[in-house]
Amino acid sequence: MQIKTNMLLAVITVGFIQGCSFSASSESSSESSTSISESVGSVISSPSSFSSDKNKAYEIKIMDYTAAYLTTAAFDRASFVTGITEIATENGITNWEDDETTLVGIGRALKKAKLTGGVYETYKKSLADSNELRMQMIQKGYDAQ
């Protein structure tokens, strides 16, 4: 009877140890799963950061074009709009007149060109077609520069 009790105790002990080992193994698997999930989440979120980088590059193109145009040519709204439209189209933007990134870029360019006061207000109003929301987005870019 003593042998059976010792044997039973040994089996229970081994089972307990293996259970702990299984538990530790499960934790390790769980940690691996969490790590994989975090990696996948990171990859999935990357397109939005890529998109953000793409928007920033586009905004800089708009800003550079606008600043160059304002400092090198007599302002002709039709020619300016043609240039902005080309840049926007190349970047997949079909309605730049209402696109925040475009208008913020224009606002930043107006500041970069050191336009102030009435001259700035005239350009802002003209480029926004007197649309209040568009003027606010241009102002946002101007203030951010």
Average pLDDT in the 39-43 region? 39
| pLDDT tens per residue across span 70-96 | 888 688 889 999 999 999 999 999 999
Q: Which residues are CB-neighbours of 16 under 8 A, at least 6 positions away? A: none
Greater pLDDT, 29 or 125: 125
- Count of positions (residues) in the chain: 145
Angle, to 10 degrees, between the axis of helix 132-144 and the axis of helix 100-112?
A: 50
Domains held by the chain: number: 1
**pLDDT over 60 at 57, yes or no:** yes
**pLDDT over 70 at 101, yes or no:** yes
Q: Which amino acid is at 109?
A: A
The pLDDT of residue 127 is 94
What is the average pLDDT value for the chain, to the nearest integer? Answer: 77
The pLDDT of residue 52 is 84
**pLDDT over 70 at 17, yes or no:** no
Determine the distance from the C-alpha atom of residue 144 to the mean position of all C-alpha atoms in its chain, rounded to a whole number: 17
Residue numbers of the domain that contains 64: 2-144
The pLDDT of residue 71 is 84
